[in-house]
Amino acid sequence: MRLRISLVRLVLVLWLVPLSVGAEGLALPGLAVGMTRVTPVLWVDRAAGPGQVKAIRTLIAKAEAKVGAEFGGLRAAPLWQVCVTKACDRRNAMTSRAMTLGGLVITVSTKAVNDPATYVHERVHAELHRAEGFSGRRKGLLPTWFDEGLATVISRSVGYPAKQAECRAVAGWTLPETRKAFVALSKSNGKGAGPVYRAAACAVLDWLDTGRTPAEAIGRLRAGRRLP
């Protein structure tokens, strides 16, 4: 059974292009190597103790509740893959804090294993990608800046603008439509990915300030309409 699951994961990983951008850029996640299946949708580093597993399950449950409330329910049911040791990170090629592939797989490395905002951020991605679907991805219905911006706004993760002055500092930026453009801008602005997340979040906040909601964003994707 474990071999069959691993083969399915391998096909998915090789077929799907990573659909969210980690702070360090793009990375290909592993296949739950050296992990134990805790629940049907959760694999955790075998080195994790009972207390760590309980804490991870609580973080996931809270992320599910938060995102479900924002979107008016959940449709994605991603597999979670979580490391608590550097050895696990290395075995599973986890170089970013976290990564989401479609609405199917979420990986969380030791860099973010205890960060509630990261769990929420990635769960937002999974729901958006599930709503976008493969057809919507081919059509470019979900620009990377909106994907990352909405995840940042809902989770209040790194890049969330706590003050209006932070948005003024990135006003006028050309927002990245693709993952490639997101990574390129992160490398070229001299300050890393943080300001790119901030510019994206500020643009999404402007969109929400017109009376729109996260639930409306999901509805547009499900209807085959491009965001924003």
Question: Which pLDDT does position 30 carry in this prediction?
Answer: 52
Query: Is residue 7 assigned to a domain?
Result: no
Query: Is residue 9 assigned to a domain?
Result: no
Residues 54-79 pLDDT 10s:
999 999 999 999 999 999 999 999 99
Q: Same structural domain for residues 20 and 98?
A: yes
Q: Which segments of the chain have a pLDDT < 70?
A: 1-30
Query: Is residue 34 assigned to a domain?
Result: yes
Give me 57's structure tokens: 């399950």
Question: Which pLDDT does position 34 carry in this prediction?
Answer: 93
Q: Same structural domain for residues 22 and 66?
A: yes
Question: Which pLDDT does position 19 carry in this prediction?
Answer: 46
Q: Same structural domain for residues 118 and 185?
A: no
Q: Same structural domain for residues 103 and 61?
A: yes
The total of structural domains in the chain comes to 2
Query: Is residue 79 assigned to a domain?
Result: yes
Q: Give the predicted TM-score (pTM) of the model.
A: 0.87
